[in-house]
């Protein structure tokens, strides 16, 4: 099973740089971590150690930020081995640990293991927000948004030997407790950016933008009281300006995973070891279907032959849709037709391209989604 177990090299690599010893799990190690629960932990710290560990956050010997990981567990372990970590180091992950890559579960296991060595703060990314919405399951449109933004790869990494999605409670707690931002010294860490001044941040008002907004070339640079350190907007190389730093270097798209030591501005990176490949949770064990189908009504807008056709899903997966037209008289597609459009509406809309496999007598349309194995960076 993908990502099974906690036998990562991350904690061991850090410990090897510290005379081969370990002082026990770091107090306040972040969301979802149990004190001393990591593989190979010798002992949990006593109360005095816990108080000292909390003080170390302000006096960290080194401060690292790591960009979007997106299921690239192998690259994350290799990157952590490169970092000159100490017991009092602080590592801030900028969100998007999951989706698209081959081993989302392994990424979380690696982070939980690292939390047992040094101070780790993990922020909420838009993909973790979509996972929360998927686990809630009350809005079929939000469930679909998760699936069509690489969520099936995450589900597959949590599949048991029968192909059933099973997430450990420790991981649910991890995802459920991720904060939107963290302020440390002169830096404000956030997944995508901040739409207001640092002092005026209100996550009830600004939270959605803080994980979804994008910084695009040509946009004016912020002039905030803190240096904003973020990911989310994938770029070939780190983007470093006087008041903003972007560390999302598109590892899952075949580029690299990047970390930065903020005090010295020293950069560390690891190249993607394998090419991007789609991964799906199978429908059932030994099923001919390559991906699990979900039921629910999700709006679909189809562009075909110069017209806009509106449908609703009956069921769907990351590689296919069975849908019915809102107005049956307007069905103009035929088997073999190439179509494009969006699944969902408004901010939840995801573009797709596909081929119509069949049109049933009842006007149900079955469409195969054309999957790009090396897609352009997206949400």
What residues does each domain of the chain span? 10-271, 294-369
Q: Which residue has the higher pLDDT, 379 or 322?
A: 322
pLDDT computed for residue 257 by the predictor: 98
Task: State pTM to two decimals.
Answer: 0.77
What SS3 state is found at 239?
Answer: strand
Quick: pLDDT tens for 155-204: 999 988 877 889 999 999 999 999 999 999 999 999 999 999 999 999 99
Each residue of 32-84: pLDDT tens digit? Answer: 333 333 333 333 333 333 333 333 355 668 999 999 999 999 999 999 999 99
Return the CATH number of 294-369, one of 2.40.10.220, 3.90.600.10, 3.40.830.10, 3.90.550.10: 2.40.10.220
Task: Give phi and psi for 296, each to the nearest 5.
Answer: 140, 155
If you average pLDDT over every residue of the chain, what do you get? 81
DSSP, residue by residue, 48-112? HHHHHHHHTTTT-S-EEEE---TT-HHHHHHHHHHS---TT-EEEE-S--SSSSS-HHHHHHHHH
- The answer to which of 12-21, 68-77, 87-96, 224-233 has the lowest mean pLDDT is 12-21
Give the CATH number of domain 10-271: 3.60.21.10
> Which of 45-49, 168-172, 222-226, 335-339 holds the top average pLDDT?
168-172
Same fold, 10-271 and 294-369: no
């Amino acid at each position: 099973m993908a990502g099974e177990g906690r036998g990562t090299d991350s904690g061991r690599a850090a410990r090897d740089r510290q005379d081969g010893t370990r002082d026990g799990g770091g107090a306040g190690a972040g969301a979802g971590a149990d004190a001393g629960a990591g593989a190979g932990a010798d002992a949990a710290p006593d109360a005095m150690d816990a108080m000292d560990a909390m003080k170390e956050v302000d006096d960290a010997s080194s401060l690292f930020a790591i960009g979007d990981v997106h299921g690239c567990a192998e690259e994350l372990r290799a990157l952590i081995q490169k970092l000159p970590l100490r017991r009092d180091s602080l590592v801030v992950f900028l969100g998007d640990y999951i989706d698209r890559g081959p081993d989302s579960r392994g990424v979380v296991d690696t982070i939980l293991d690292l939390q047992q060595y040094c101070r780790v703060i993990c922020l909420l990314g838009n993909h973790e927000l979509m996972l929360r919405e998927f686990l809630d399951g009350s809005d079929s449109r939000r469930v679909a948004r998760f699936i069509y933004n690489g969520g099936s790869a995450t589900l597959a990494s949590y599949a048991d030997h029968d192909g059933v999605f099973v997430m450990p409670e420790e991981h649910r707690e991890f995802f459920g407790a991720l904060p939107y931002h963290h302020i440390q010294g002169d830096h404000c860490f956030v997944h995508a950016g901040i739409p207001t001044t640092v002092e005026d941040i209100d996550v009830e008002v600004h939270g959605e933008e803080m994980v979804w907004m994008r910084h695009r070339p040509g946009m004016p640079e912020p002039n905030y009281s803190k240096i904003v350190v973020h990911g989310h907007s994938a770029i070939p190389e780190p983007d470093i300006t006087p008041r903003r730093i972007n560390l999302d270097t598109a590892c899952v798209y075949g580029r690299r995973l990047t970390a930065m030591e903020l005090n010295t501005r020293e950069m560390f990176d690891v190249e993607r070891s394998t090419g991007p490949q789609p991964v799906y949770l199978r429908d059932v064990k030994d099923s001919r279907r390559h991906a699990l189908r979900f039921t629910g009504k999700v709006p679909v807008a189809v562009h075909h032959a110069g017209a806009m056709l509106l449908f609703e899903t009956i069921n769907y997966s990351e590689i296919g849709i069975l849908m019915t037209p809102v107005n049956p008289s307007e069905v103009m597609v035929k088997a073999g037709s190439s179509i494009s459009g969006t699944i969902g509406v408004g901010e939840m809309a995801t573009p797709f391209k596909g081929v119509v496999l069949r049109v049933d007598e009842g006007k149900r349309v079955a469409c195969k989604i054309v999957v790009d194995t090396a897609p352009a960076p997206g949400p």
